[in-house]
Amino acid sequence: MNQAPLLMLGIFAALSTSWFGLVVWPQIQLGALKPVEIEETGEIYPSARPGLAQQGAEVYRANNCAACHSQQVRPGADINRGWGPRRTVAQDYLFDAPVMLGSSRIGPDLANIGARQLDDNWHLIHLYKPRLIVEKSSMPSYRFLFTKRALDAGAKPSPNALKLSPEETKRLEGYEMVPKPDALALVAYLRSLRADAPLFEAPLPAKPGLKPAKLSAPSTNSPAKK
């Protein structure tokens, strides 16, 4: 191994094996994926996110929510926990860029949060102060996505202000919290997150569809009910 060119060539060849396998070949195998028509509903799946939700994906990326949240349902335990009706497959991520699978579950998986939590106000309050909803939550507050606005004495709160509990409103002492456009976009993104269309490679179990959480339900962190 004293010939430098031979050594370089060897290094190049050795590194390129995994490069071909994991960089080049997936383009050939997965590059041809297209949206498909779902038999039961006739819908095309997946469809590109609407504009607002797409902006929300950027907020999710910028703040690295993926540091604590995965978006990937594995067969078995994840389904039992109520994180999705079926495993997630390549088809589900067709329009994501970046695809934010995440590698840590400090918080719950969010692949199907759009099917689980349907209340925008729940999401907004949760982002504003997670501990208002989940006791001792270790999710950080995203208060910087909200504007604090003075409320004239006796004036009615603005229609888009956060609908907080009476105690919390009192604590704000004549101010109200109004979501910034980023907060609304983020919630639109969360609402768009669902991977529950029945696919050929990942059919739904006998009873299809996730039961959406009731609006008053605090969170789906609680065990899945059978």
Q: How near is the Cβ of 171 to other proteins at its closest, in Å?
A: 14
> Coil, helix or strand for 44?
strand
209, 85 contact by CB (below 8 A): yes
Q: Amino acid letter at 146?
A: F
Helix (H) or strand (E) holding 89: none
Residues counted in the chain: 226
By the criterion CB under 6 A, which residues form the site for ligand HEC?
60, 63, 65, 67-69, 106-108, 110, 113, 116-117, 130, 134, 137-140, 142, 186, 190, 219-221
Name the binder of 215 from other proteins, ligand HEC, none, CB < 5-8 A by kind.
none
Give me the residue whose beta carbon is nearest to ligand HEC. 107
Name the binder of 113 from ligand HEC, other proteins, none, CB < 5-8 A by kind.
ligand HEC
From candidates 41, 160, 165, 221, binder to other proteins by CB under 8 A: 221
Q: Name the CA radius of gyration of the chain, rounded.
A: 22
Q: Which residue has the tokens 């299809």?
A: 208
Residue 103 is a binding residue for other proteins (CB under 8 A):
yes
Q: Which range in 14-22, 114-122, 159-167, 185-193 contacts other proteins by CB under 8 A?
A: 14-22
Identify which of residues 65 and 73 has a Cβ nearer to ligand HEC in the complex.
Answer: 65
Residue 47 is a binding residue for other proteins (CB under 8 A):
no
From candidates 36, 38, 52, 68, binder to other proteins by CB under 8 A: 68
From candidates 36, 38, 52, 101, binder to other proteins by CB under 8 A: 101
Q: How near is the Cβ of 10 to other proteins at its closest, in Å?
A: 7
Query: What is the Cα–Cα distance from 209 to 165, expressed in whole angstroms?
Result: 32
Using H for helix, E for strand and C for coil, what is the string for 161-219? CCCCCHHHHHHCCCEEEEECHHHHHHHHHHHHCCCCCCCCCCCCCCCCCCCCCCCCCCC
Closest to 145 measured CA to CA, from 107, 182, 109, 177 = 182
Q: How near is the Cβ of 138 to ligand HEC at its closest, in Å?
A: 5
From candidates 55, 85, 92, 122, binder to other proteins by CB under 8 A: 92
116, 97 contact by CB (below 8 A): no
Residue 44 is a binding residue for other proteins (CB under 8 A):
no
